[in-house]
């Protein structure tokens, strides 16, 4: 526990107690999921009454016959299936179908993302999209731009084409709703509500703490937002950590510690076991870990402004290898992501305001040119053991600053590889 001597746990037993609580909740939720899994498997040809088509792509089999790969989502999970019938389906089309659950494993069911064969697929009448989402997205004519803002504000799925565009810039962390957005939304909402709340507080309830009250109100709004977008894994982790950080702040306890992150992860996984299989959740945790690693070793040597600049470069290079393991695209263009992360602090509230007043399409042409711009890219496929060694080395670097520097700057090899 020497690494965490400045944390809020003064005794090991307090840490063990909280860990035991998380473990108990995790076991309970896993047991509940397994019970649901067994019930789900009882029907070997499970009927899904109403689902939504998220993506559709055309493929060719070994006999040069065309088939369609569909990504479908219902209230409980999302899954991939295939069909040889061209039903002329469109994105967000509502469907009914039967899926064959015979070969579905508990691991796949728990992840809430899997592949299953299907049949009797029928398009249903298209239901009206949520009015609030429609208000935002109907301000754009271009499909790609609609997808961009749908992902940015509502965590909607994007096409493989837009995903490639985003990966070329290395800005997936900006598009996927996570802690970055929580920080911006919290700050923006706080400064909007503070003058209004302060006016009433000074006159009618001066005994109340403005910062505390507004923080609780904003957290409630963020919970509503989390429900609205479907409890996105990266957002859930960030929100739990924000709640936890707020509690520590109220207790005047150190927030930026690895133990804070660890406990936040334990709480998140115990409540939502599916996060164990979420790549987005993993990236979210690693991103915060590397931020804490920089603060832990190097923030004391520089002023605030310099730390902000260096932290953006540090986190970008630290995340290069983990991202490459799952998404093997690498390009010099991704270095622009460092600067785009800084610009995003102004871009996000700006486009949010423009959408709220009905002028969200003003930047569409510029954004489309930006997304279509491409520099040369290549693919680097990493062995699992390289990825594992890197993660273990990063954990050891909590103790050794020199190892932290080595881990992060070893990511430069990927960019050198492009030139070879």
CATH of the domain at 71: 2.40.50
355: left (phi over 0), alpha (psi -120 to 50) or beta: alpha
Quick check: 374 and 309 in contact, CB under 8 A? no
Q: What is the pLDDT of residue 239?
A: 84
Percent of the chain at pLDDT > 70 equals 94
Residue 170 in domain: yes
| Whether residues 94 and 172 fall in one domain | no
Q: What is the pLDDT of residue 254?
A: 66
| Whether residues 69 and 184 fall in one domain | no
**What six digits make up the tokens of 294?**
């920089």
Quick check: 275 and 236 in contact, CB under 8 A? yes
Residue 129 in domain: no
Residue 151 in domain: no
Residue in the structure block whose two tokens are 């295939």: 82
> pTM of this prediction?
0.81
CA distance 112 to 328: 24
Residue 135 in domain: no
| Whether residues 267 and 373 fall in one domain | yes
Phi and psi torsions of 54, nearest 5°: -90, -40
Which residues, in sequence order, are bridge partners of residue 45?
100
Give per-residue pLDDT as tens, 213-225: 898 999 999 999 8
| Whether residues 237 and 108 fall in one domain | no
| Whether residues 291 and 181 fall in one domain | yes
**What six digits make up the tokens of 157?**
């799925």
> Over 57-79, what HEC string results?
EEEECCCCCEEEEEEEECCCCEE
Measured over the CA atoms of residue 296, residue 348, residue 245 and residue 32, the dihedral's sign is negative
Residue 25 in domain: no
Residue 239 in domain: yes
Percent of the chain at pLDDT > 90 equals 24
Residue 130 in domain: no
CA distance 178 to 226: 10
Residue where a domain stops, chosen among 66, 99, 123 = 123
Q: Which helix (H) or strand (E) holds 120?
A: strand 118-123
Q: Which helix (H) or strand (E) holds 248?
A: helix 233-250
| Whether residues 311 and 404 fall in one domain | yes
Q: What is the largest CA-CA distance in the chain?
A: 77
Spans of the chain, pLDDT less than 50: 1-8, 11
* Eight-class DSSP state of 276: G
Q: What is the pLDDT of residue 2?
A: 46
| Whether residues 83 and 190 fall in one domain | no
In the structure, how many helices (H) and strands (E) does the chain have? 17, 8
| Whether residues 111 and 180 fall in one domain | no
Q: What is the pLDDT of residue 24?
A: 94
| Whether residues 176 and 66 fall in one domain | no
Q: What is the pLDDT of residue 403?
A: 93
Residue where a domain stops, chosen among 101, 123, 145 = 123
| Whether residues 355 and 226 fall in one domain | yes
Q: Give the full edge-to-edge strand order of the sheet including 78-83.
A: 113-115, 78-83, 66-73, 45-60, 94-100, 118-123
Say whether 146 sits in a helix, a strand or coil: helix
* Domain that residue 57 falls in: 43-123
Q: What is the pLDDT of residue 129?
A: 67
Residue where a domain stops, chosen among 72, 100, 123 = 123
| Whether residues 83 and 224 fall in one domain | no
Residue 128 in domain: no
Total domain count, the chain:
2
Phi and psi torsions of 94, nearest 5°: -85, 140
| Whether residues 242 and 350 fall in one domain | yes
């Amino acid at each position: 526990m020497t690494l965490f001597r400045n944390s809020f746990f003064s005794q090991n037993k307090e840490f063990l107690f909280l860990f035991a609580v998380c473990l108990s909740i995790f076991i309970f939720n896993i047991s509940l999921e397994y019970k649901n899994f067994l019930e789900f498997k009882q029907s070997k040809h499970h009927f899904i009454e109403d689902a939504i088509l998220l993506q559709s792509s055309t493929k060719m089999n070994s006999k040069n016959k065309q088939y369609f790969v569909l990504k479908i989502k219902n209230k409980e999970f999302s899954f991939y299936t295939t069909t040889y019938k061209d039903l002329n389906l469109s994105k967000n089309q509502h469907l009914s179908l039967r899926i064959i659950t015979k070969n579905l494993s508990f691991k796949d069911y728990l992840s809430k993302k899997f592949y299953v064969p299907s049949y009797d697929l029928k398009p249903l009448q298209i239901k009206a999209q949520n009015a609030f989402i429609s208000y935002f997205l109907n301000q754009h004519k271009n499909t790609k731009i609609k997808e961009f803002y749908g992902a940015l504000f509502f965590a909607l799925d994007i096409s493989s084409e837009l995903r490639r565009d985003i990966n070329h810039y290395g800005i997936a962390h900006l598009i996927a709703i996570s802690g970055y957005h929580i920080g911006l939304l919290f700050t923006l909402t706080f400064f909007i509500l503070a003058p209004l709340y302060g006016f009433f507080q000074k006159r009618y309830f001066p005994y109340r703490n403005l910062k505390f009250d507004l923080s609780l109100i904003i957290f409630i709004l963020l919970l509503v937002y989390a429900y609205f977008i479907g409890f996105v894994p990266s957002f859930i982790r960030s929100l739990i950590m924000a709640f936890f950080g707020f509690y520590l702040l109220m207790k005047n306890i150190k927030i930026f510690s690895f133990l804070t992150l660890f406990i936040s992860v334990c709480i998140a996984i115990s409540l939502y076991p599916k996060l164990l299989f979420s790549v987005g959740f993993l990236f979210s945790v690693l991103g915060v870990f590397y931020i804490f690693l920089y603060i832990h070793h190097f923030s004391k040597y520089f002023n605030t402004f310099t730390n902000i600049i260096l932290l953006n470069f540090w986190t970008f290079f630290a995340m290069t290898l983990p991202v490459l393991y799952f998404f093997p695209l690498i390009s010099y263009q991704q270095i622009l992501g460092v600067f785009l992360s800084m610009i995003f602090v102004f871009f996000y509230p700006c486009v949010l305001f423009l959408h709220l007043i009905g002028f969200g399409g003003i930047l569409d042409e510029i954004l489309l040119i930006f997304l279509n711009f491409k520099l040369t890219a290549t693919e680097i496929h990493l062995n699992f053991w390289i990825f594992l060694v890197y993660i273990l080395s990063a954990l050891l670097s909590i103790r050794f600053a020199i190892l932290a520097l080595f881990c992060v700057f070893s990511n430069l090899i990927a960019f050198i590889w492009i030139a070879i």
